[in-house]
A and B are shown apart, each in its own frame.
With several copies, the nearest count.
Chain A
């Protein structure tokens, strides 16, 4: 089986940002994403999900290493300062590298 290395970028952030981040991911060259609602806590306090304002969201993107790097840079430049957000990258392998 022929596995190919990819990056998995995970973003946890305020729900209000969903549309904007999906837009940014497309601009950075990602070909897809997966999102779901989460709850959590961090430096900016506990986030439940009863008001959209205080809702929390996890977005996962599989992307080529170069794209993943661009994504992180954009997140850093556009969102890290002002919003409750965590982002991290991991290594994964996929069968169909052309999909990402």
Chain B
């Protein structure tokens, strides 16, 4: 399958089309009135399911296979803010707070983008290291910590104190937020249970999984769509950044994945993780610790530009890249 076919197949998947429907609903101001608890419930389900499956995979592959690529993933997450921050400051002319905030979002990861990528791989029947969700788990926090440090101006000798209650709450959230806890917890459970546990809960955690993702993307489409109106407010620089940053990070992640010995599917997933921007963990932690940053900038870039770009074009692109590098 060549790149164009892959892009087309991806664009015509239920997941992406439901996302488009959600955007349409938001843009045409037809509130589908999804209950708040549905959003949370779907998130809990997706994180638990992906974590559990990853854990069962770790059980089968052994921790020995996982630690090195996981370490690379952590390094990637921590490094991305370090290159995005100066670009945001110098090229984008952003304030220290805003640059740090955005850097935190782009270093951290989006679980749903990752899940959409695994579904894509399942669709094109490309195998991947199913323990890859471990990378997802370890990449969420480091970038947030680095980004917050940058946004509080530590580079310029800025004030940063652990006694600041905002920073205290934010760091607690970043290090062991609910997303990480669910993901790592379910992964530990999967690793302890192995195949026997999977047999018991497969009808819940696997059978309906892809359909649940489609429903969730419908909701994400509405969330992203409501932000589209803010695109005017963020300026041309951020529009470009929202596409270029995931491309750079994504190809970097793919290359690193290949280098550390991951399969084509696994390298593609590491690329997708690098390319993705957090819109759950990072926003909350950043809001608490860098309140002077304007959340419209980071959220609009992450949700209304990078997220749609990744799930529509990024995923097949990084897949193609992973295939190329392997040959």
Bin chain A's interface residue count. 10 to 19
Q: Write the residues of chain A forming the contact surface with B, with a CB cutoff of 8 angstroms.
A: 14, 16-17, 19-20, 23, 37, 48-53, 55, 82-83
Partner of B283, one of A20, A23, A53, A83: A53
Q: Which residues in window 208-229 of B have CB below 8 A to A?
A: 219, 222-223, 226
Bin chain B's interface residue count. 20 to 34
**Interface residues as binary, B134-175 with A (CB distance below 8 Å gives 1, 0 otherwise):** 000000000000000000000000000000011001000000
Interface-side segment among B115-123, B259-267, B287-295: B287-295
B291 touches A83 (CB 8 A): yes
Give the CA-CA distance A36 to B226 in the complex, in Å.
Answer: 20
B39 touches A82 (CB 8 A): no
What is the minimal beta-carbon distance from A46 to any residue of chain B, in angstroms?
8
B223 touches A50 (CB 8 A): yes
What is the minimal beta-carbon distance from B38 to any residue of chain A, in angstroms?
9
Partner of B284, one of A48, A49, A52, A82: A52
A16 touches B284 (CB 8 A): yes
Q: Which residues of B contact A19 (CB under 8 A)?
A: 169
Question: When A and B form their complex, which 3 residue pairs have the shortest distance between CB atoms, in order from nearest?
Answer: A82-B291, A53-B283, A49-B36
Knowing that A48-B226, A49-B36 touch, tell me 9 more A-B residue pairs with CB under 8 angstroms: A16-B287, A16-B288, A20-B169, A20-B288, A51-B39, A52-B284, A53-B284, A53-B287, A82-B291
Give the CA-CA distance A11 to B223 in the complex, in Å.
Answer: 25
Q: Which residues of B contact A16 (CB under 8 A)?
A: 284, 287-288
What is the minimal beta-carbon distance from B231 to any residue of chain A, in angstroms?
14
What is the minimal beta-carbon distance from A20 to any residue of chain B, in angstroms?
6
A51 touches B169 (CB 8 A): no
B222 touches A53 (CB 8 A): no
B279 touches A51 (CB 8 A): yes
Give the CA-CA distance A48 to B227 in the complex, in Å.
Answer: 12
Provide a sorted-by-A list of 15 A–B residue pairs whose CB atoms are within 8 angstroms: A14-B287, A16-B287, A20-B169, A48-B226, A49-B36, A50-B219, A50-B222, A51-B223, A51-B279, A51-B280, A51-B283, A53-B280, A53-B284, A82-B291, A83-B291
